[in-house]
């Protein structure tokens, strides 16, 4: 009676250990995913602030300005634009200098311009250069000003950052699969003689495998739910520290990561349980002591 109770406690303890181990691994993977998504959102925000300024010729007719405006709005690379007339620019400069420029000059020395911001997908040196070349040829355009050095620097930095995050994510996924595999395999290893006994009484492979697969799926789902709850609390806490994190990581993305963790946890645990169970289904009694 005491031996049966101790075995029951030992089995329960191994299941709890397996559950906690899987949950911790999923938390690590979930945190990496959230950081990657937040980084992507912040990267897109940086790219949205890149663009160029289209300066129109002085005394350019309104028809030419409207033509350029419609072309900019129709361009797939343009995210948004701001138009400033010559009078608007003179007023801004007067406010900046603290002196009325118009009273000192006979004519307005400024010209109308468009401040153009491109979409994140087009915020690369080649794409912006292509857009500049196209709009430069339009009637009424005097020049187009770009910050080439800034654009190239930002693009290079963001590309390196994306490559580093991708490598880290791949490493974490490989480590997560390996750790979950070892955890589930050790749990089934503790019950390898139960599998052998069921084989001796004539149980089929599917019958023996089924409860281990169900247990693996349940462990994966419970671990995924636990990891998701931790991530939700971490997201709430992080957003309370910095509101920008709430904008960089919306709840829809957090929910998607949580659902993915539950599904991934269940899938990895079921596959690992299937491989481990099949290993002991094929093993002989003597091999049970060697594995």
Buried b (16+ CB within 10 A) or exposed e, 200-222: eeeeeeeebbeebbebbbebbeb
Alpha carbons 180 and 195: distance in angstroms, whole number: 21
Q: How confident is the model at residue 13 (pLDDT cuts 50, 70, 90)?
A: low
Query: Which has the higher per-residue pLDDT, 115 or 146?
Result: 115
The one-character DSSP state at 142 is E
Give kind and range of the element (H or E) at residue 30.
helix 2-48
CB 276 within 8 A of CB 189: yes
C-alpha closest to that of 144 among 236, 50, 48, 52: 52
The one-character DSSP state at 145 is E
Beta bridge partners of 210: none
CB 140 within 8 A of CB 56: yes
CB 184 within 8 A of CB 273: yes
Q: How confident is the model at residue 286 (pLDDT cuts 50, 70, 90)?
A: low
Alpha carbons 81 and 73: distance in angstroms, whole number: 8
The pLDDT of 135-157, averaged and rounded, is 78
Note the pLDDT tens digit of each residue in 260-279: 999 988 888 888 888 888 87
The per-residue pLDDT of the chain, averaged, comes to 79
CB 91 within 8 A of CB 67: no
Alpha carbons 122 and 114: distance in angstroms, whole number: 18
Alpha carbons 33 and 226: distance in angstroms, whole number: 16
Note the pLDDT tens digit of each residue in 26-68: 888 888 888 778 877 777 777 777 888 898 888 888 888 899 9
């Amino acid at each position: 009676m005491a031996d049966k109770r101790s075995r029951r406690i030992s089995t329960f303890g191994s299941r709890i250990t397996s559950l906690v181990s899987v949950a911790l691994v999923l938390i690590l993977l979930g945190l990496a995913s959230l950081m990657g998504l937040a980084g992507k959102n912040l990267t897109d925000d940086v790219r949205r602030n890149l663009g160029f300024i289209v300066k129109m010729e002085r005394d350019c007719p309104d028809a030419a300005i409207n033509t350029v405006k419609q072309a900019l709005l129709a361009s797939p690379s343009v995210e948004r634009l701001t138009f400033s007339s010559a009078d608007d620019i003179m007023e801004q400069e007067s406010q900046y200098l603290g002196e009325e420029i118009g009273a000192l000059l006979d004519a307005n020395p400024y010209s109308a311009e468009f401040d153009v911001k491109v979409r994140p997908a087009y915020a690369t040196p080649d794409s912006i250069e292509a857009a500049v070349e196209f709009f430069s040829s339009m009637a009424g355009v005097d020049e187009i000003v770009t910050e080439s050095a800034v654009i190239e620097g930002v693009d290079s930095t963001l590309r390196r950052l994306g490559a580093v995050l991708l490598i880290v994510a791949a490493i974490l996924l490989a480590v997560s699969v390996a750790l979950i595999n070892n955890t589930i395999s050790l749990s089934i290893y503790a019950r390898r003689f139960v599998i052998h006994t069921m084989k001796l009484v004539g149980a089929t492979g599917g019958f023996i495998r089924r409860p281990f697969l169900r247990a693996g799926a349940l462990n994966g789902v419970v671990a995924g739910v636990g990891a998701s709850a931790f991530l939700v609390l971490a997201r709430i806490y992080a957003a309370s520290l910095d509101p920008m994190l709430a904008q960089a990581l919306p709840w829809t993305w957090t929910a998607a990561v949580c659902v993915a963790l539950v599904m991934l946890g269940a899938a990895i645990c079921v596959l690992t349980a299937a491989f481990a169970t099949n290993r002991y289904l094929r093993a002989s009694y003597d091999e049970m002591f060697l594995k």
